[in-house]
Structure 1
Amino acid sequence: MTSREQDAVRLLLLIHGASEKPNTVDLADPGLAGAVGVVRTQVRLQKLDFWLRNPDYLADELLTDFETSREPGLLEVAGRILDSEEPEVRRYPMLRHHFGAYEPLDDALAVLRSGGLVVRRRRGTVNRVRQHDYFLMHRGEQVAEQIVRDVPTFSYYVERVALVVALADGLGGTDLKKRQYLQREYAEAARGTRIGSVSARARARLDTLRAQHQTDKDAGEP
């Protein structure tokens, strides 16, 4: 389990690394005048956080992309994760909810919102909230950069957020949910239980793909 403060730091660094630029409509809101970035929809934020909290799933998805692209860098990065203890010591399981991986964010977001680092906006009507958007404020950007500068160990999250964002490139929250549901352990987890690890399966898969890649190299294939 993580503390509220740990969750707040992780979410701040995730929002900092995953945000897009606010549009003119956003910035017309007086409360968002200092916004420098936004992550749109709680679904997207939760799905990105899942990969950040579960390095075994992140590495396995990198292997999936390697199978399609044959980009050696993906195999190398997945290997660095799976060859280490990262999937065990850095893993913070999430609950299987009705819509997939989910953890309440309110406590951690309260820390960020009270400090003026992040602003949440609800979109929709009085009777039906369509989505939540999470705006990174200028103060939040400064704090995120200061955290990494003053506590270099947090650079781990910056590096992993970059991988997560690249993996999710072009995918909305619903698309990310569909991709994560392709993992058997994820899809078959009972609602209200923690989603199980895929470390053993991912490591076995890594060994197979490494052997295939070496065979291809020996045969002179690119």
Structure 2
Amino acid sequence: MNIASNTMNEFECNSKNIYFGSLARIADLKENPFQVKVAPREIWETGDYIVAQYIDAKGKRVDYLEHCDGTLHPLKPKDIVVGALGERCATQEVVGSWKLIDKKIANPTLDHICGSGMFGIESSRSKWHNVETSQFRYVGHCFRNDKKVCVRDFAPATTTAMPTCPIILIVGTSMSCGKTISGKMIIDIIKNDLGIHNVAGTKFTGGGKQ
């Protein structure tokens, strides 16, 4: 990995304290060079990859980052995280958006609104979610050839062809409304009652829908 930018020098960045949130799993930022530059606010968008520095929690708690491989990393002061600007509507945990970030400050404070490396500003939190949102300082955007690097840059090409097998789509309006449990029950019925054993299931959800 090679991060080239004057903005990073003061943070003494090296491979020991740079971590990639799971939102970067789809990207090649870990393998290929990119530059870090402060981007003008008018070009910020959902899904932009950014670099941010963790602010010390002052011993009150341990904050974690979910790595690309799903493991959890306990954050330490001055850790640098590569994540993405995002919007989260997890009503039973945290709701927030990057659009609420202070526009008047060049290096604003960011809330880590999802453990995957999603950054924004928390607007509300469920009374059942008693974990405080960790805070970071914006360092800059990830750039290549003077162009922002975004989550959508790495999205696979889609096809208009539809699968020939029957499809059951389960749509839920909120967290914990029973989508996964319903899916498991339906699969059980298909396999045990209908005798169809070639059944596949997938879940399209989560903070990565950038």
TM range (shorter): under 0.3
Greater relative contact order (Cα < 8 A, sep 6+): 1
TM-score (norm 2): 0.23
Which structure's residues are more often strand, by fraction? Answer: 2
Instruction: Report the structure, 1 or 2, having the larger helix content.
Output: 1
